[in-house]
Amino acid sequence: GENVEQHPSTLSVQEGDSAVIKCTYSDSASNYFPWYKQELGKRPQLIIDIRSNVGEKKDQRIAVTLNKTAKHFSLHITETQPEDSAVYFCAAGTASNFGNEKLTFGTGTRLTIIP
C-alpha cells in the first residue's frame, strides 16, 4: 500500500518568515495530494490540494508543489502569521475505477509561529 513520509515533525519560524513542509509518497498510482490543517482540539480541515496533472498551485499565502518523478510534494506558507500555528498533515490518494480510493496521511508537522 501507499506510504507517506512527512518532515519535519516540528517546525518553529519567526512571524513573517516562510515555512516549508515536505512529504514523499511511494505509490506511483497516487494522483491526489491534499494538505489539512488541524488547530488544537479541532478537526482537520482542507487548506489546499493538488492533482498529479499540475505541478504547482497557489492560494494567497499558501502554495503546494508536486514533483511526480521524485514522488514528493511540499507545502509553502509565506508571510507566516500567529494563526498559522497548527498541525499540518499531507496525504496521498489513489483513484481507481473500482471505488477503492483511499487517502494515506503523513504523520503531521507541528508548526509554531514565534511572534
Partner 1 sequence: NAGVTQTPKFQVLKTGQSMTLQCAQDMNHEYMSWYRQDPGMGLRLIHYSVGAGITDQGEVPNGYNVSRSTTEDFPLRLLSAAPSQTSVYFCASSYSGTTEAFFGQGTRLTVV
List contacts with partner 1 (CB under 8 A).
1, 6, 9, 31-32, 34, 36, 42-46, 49, 89, 91, 93-95, 99-108
State the minimum distance, in angstroms, from the CB of residue 39 to partner 1: 12
Quote the least distance from Cβ 36 to partner 1, whole Å: 8
Nearer to partner 1, 17 or 49 (CB): 49
83: number of Cβ within 10 Å: 8
Extended strands (E) in the chain = 4-7, 10-14, 19-25, 32-38, 45-51, 56-59, 62-67, 72-77, 86-94, 102-105, 109-114
Identity of the amino acid at 1? G
Smallest distance, partner 1 to C-beta of residue 107, A: 4
